[in-house]
């Protein structure tokens, strides 16, 4: 009886130990990565803004958020990652669900970092999906938004100081 308990204890601790080792994530590293990417864009005249769209997820995790856009302004969405988020994809859709652009590069071609840049052709919002395509255990991501240019004066946010809306929901998105 003691031998069975000992074997069960060893097996239970081995399973528990291996599962605890796969739960990894370093949100600070993801944020640092996003800010390192932002240095390039601030040098190009983008005003970068942190968002509240940071998090942790496993392979296949997708989060969606809305960002207001103004016609004529350039936008950049950068997604920093930690060392456990091995492949991140970004998809940007217009208000009616048409794909504007995406970044789905494989890790061998720079896909471990994700970022997209575009010029808004309308006033309104875009839907941005961040998809953790592949992670080692749990991975962290951090999103920064940059704006550049002069608005055409019509409705829509024109200042980087205007707060971004807090619209975010984990949903099955592209790639799921």
Query: Is 67 within the bounds of a domain?
Result: yes
- pLDDT tens digit sequence for 86-99: 999 999 999 999 99
Helix (H) or strand (E) holding 142: strand 139-148
Contact 128, 168 (CB under 8 A): no
Contact 171, 101 (CB under 8 A): no
What residue numbers bound the domain in which 59 lies? 24-170
- Across 38-123, where does the E strand assignment appear? 47-57, 62-69, 74-81, 85-93, 99-103, 114-119
Query: Is 8 within the bounds of a domain?
Result: no
Contact 130, 53 (CB under 8 A): yes
Mean pLDDT, residues 33-53 taken together: 91
Query: Is 75 within the bounds of a domain?
Result: yes
- pLDDT tens digit sequence for 138-167: 999 999 999 999 876 554 444 444 544 444
Count the domains in the chain: 1
Counting runs of H as helices and runs of E as strands, what totals does the chain give? 2, 9
Contact 36, 80 (CB under 8 A): yes
Query: Is 15 within the bounds of a domain?
Result: no
Contact 80, 31 (CB under 8 A): yes
In this structure, what CATH number is given to the domain that contains residue 124?
2.60.120.380
Tell me the C-alpha distance between 80 and 73, whole Å.
Answer: 23
pTM listed for this prediction: 0.72
């Amino acid at each position: 009886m003691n031998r069975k308990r000992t074997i069960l204890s060893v097996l239970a601790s081995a399973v528990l130990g291996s599962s605890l080792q796969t739960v990894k994530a370093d949100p600070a590293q993801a944020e640092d990565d996003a800010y390192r990417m932002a240095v390039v864009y601030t040098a190009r005249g983008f005003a970068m803004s942190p968002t509240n769209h940071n998090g942790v997820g496993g392979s296949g995790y997708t989060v969606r958020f809305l960002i207001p856009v103004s016609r004529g302004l350039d936008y950049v969405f950068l997604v920093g990652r930690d060392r456990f988020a091995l492949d991140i994809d970004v998809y940007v859709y217009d208000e009616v669900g048409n794909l504007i652009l995406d970044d789905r590069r494989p890790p061998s071609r720079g896909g471990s970092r994700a970022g997209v840049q575009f010029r808004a052709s309308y006033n309104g919002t875009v839907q941005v999906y961040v998809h953790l395509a592949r992670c080692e255990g749990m991975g962290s991501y951090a999103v920064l938004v940059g704006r550049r240019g002069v608005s055409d004066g019509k409705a829509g946010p024109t200042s980087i100081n205007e707060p971004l809306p807090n619209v975010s929901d984990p949903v099955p998105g592209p790639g799921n």
